[in-house]
Amino acid sequence: MADRGMALVIANPEARHGETAKLIPVIGQLLTNLPHDLIVTNGRGHATELAAAAADYDIVIAVGGDGTVHEVLNGLMSIEAPNRPALGLLPTGSGNDTRRTLGIPEDLAQAALTLATGQLKRFDVGVCNGVYFNNSFAAGLDAKVTAKAVEYKVTKKRDGLWLYLTALLHVLFHELDSFTLRISIDEQPAVSHDTLIVAVTNGPTYGGGFFITPDALADDGLFDVCMIDPLSLPQALMRLPFVIAGKHTRMKPVHMSRHRSLVIECDGALPAQIDGEVLLESRYDISIMPGAIQCLVPRSL
């Protein structure tokens, strides 16, 4: 049992192709002035277990990428709100979209400084089929891209925007199919949609830096939703640079909106991703929990 005021640092040594393992001694030095316990995870799900048992800490710091933060968040959300520690982040992963959402510096030393000098701020948390997410849910083509990115991360040792861009190009050329979905928004009757992508986000980016919902705010109590109509390959390739830069929102095939909840249903299994983790279900029940997690962020926010 740790004294109040202590931080628990949960480090995923496998993040960024195992590069994080080399940084663990450095992280200990960067956090010299922050009383902490550091535990290195030993496999999938371990970070969730550690965070779930961290009620006696004031802050739990995830060291890794979006997958690590996702696990830590799900552990923290299992703790009753009055006893729930705050979430901190040292970004050492491949995508690091949560870093962008929270405004955490990319430089590791600057991110560590934020943990010592930053402020606590409340952010929204999404929940989908009982699984919590801090940054994004997406169904359809995006999930195929995520699955291919998981493969490329291992087989081609890629990371960041380049990883997701090459995965996206593969999917565009080989799996550019739309999905017929029934979508209920904010508890209204379901409407049928033939769509390529449904992205439901707290933050402005996913996929290592694609500005899919460039105006999203992670503390406004609403999801930003982007739906894209079916496109031909030439149409998709022409629009891709605009999606990367977040300049697609006024295009005719793109539909932007803000909502508190969505239910997405499909006659068959619908591929989806939640904070970069692959899902395969026929129904996704998604809702937002306003201000459900405190995060340690730079004071400029």
Instruction: Give me the residue spans of the domains in the chain.
Output: 7-117, 136-289
HEC string of 52-81 equals HCCCCCCEEEEEECHHHHHHHHHHHCCCCH
Which has the closest alpha carbon to 205: 219, 218, 186, 196?
218
pLDDT surpassing 80 at residue 17: no
Phi, psi of 58 (to 5 degrees): -85, -30
Phi, psi of 200 (to 5 degrees): -120, 110
Q: What's the chain's length in residues?
A: 301
Please report how many Cα atoms fall inside a 13 Å half-sphere around the Cα of residue 37, on the Cβ side. 17
pLDDT at 207: 83
**Distance between CA 227 and CA 181 in Å, rounded?**
11
Torsion (CA) 56, 122, 209, 114 in degrees, nearest 10: -60
**pLDDT tens digits for 96-140?**
899 999 999 999 999 999 998 999 999 999 999 999 999 999 999
Average pLDDT value for the chain? 92
Quickly name the fold that domain 7-117 has: Rossmann fold (3.40.50)
Burial class of residue 237 (count of CB atoms within 10 Å of its CB; 0-12, 13-18, 19+): middle
Q: How many CB atoms lie within 10 A of CB 296?
A: 22
pLDDT surpassing 60 at residue 147: yes
**CA-based torsion, 152, 22, 3, 43: positive or negative:** positive
User: Where does the pLDDT of residue 2 fall: very low under 50, low under 70, confident under 90, or very high at 90 and above?
Assistant: very low
DSSP state of 15: T
How is domain 136-289 classified at the architecture level of CATH? Sandwich (2.60)
pLDDT at 157: 75
pLDDT at 122: 97
Which has the closest alpha carbon to 150: 120, 180, 171?
171
pLDDT surpassing 50 at residue 1: no
User: Where does the pLDDT of residue 11 fall: very low under 50, low under 70, confident under 90, or very high at 90 and above?
Assistant: very high
pLDDT at 45: 95
Residue type, 301: L
Task: Please indicate, yes or no, whether the overall pTM of this predicted structure exceeds 0.85.
Answer: yes
pLDDT surpassing 70 at residue 4: no
Q: Tokens 């050329």 appear where?
A: 173
pLDDT at 156: 79
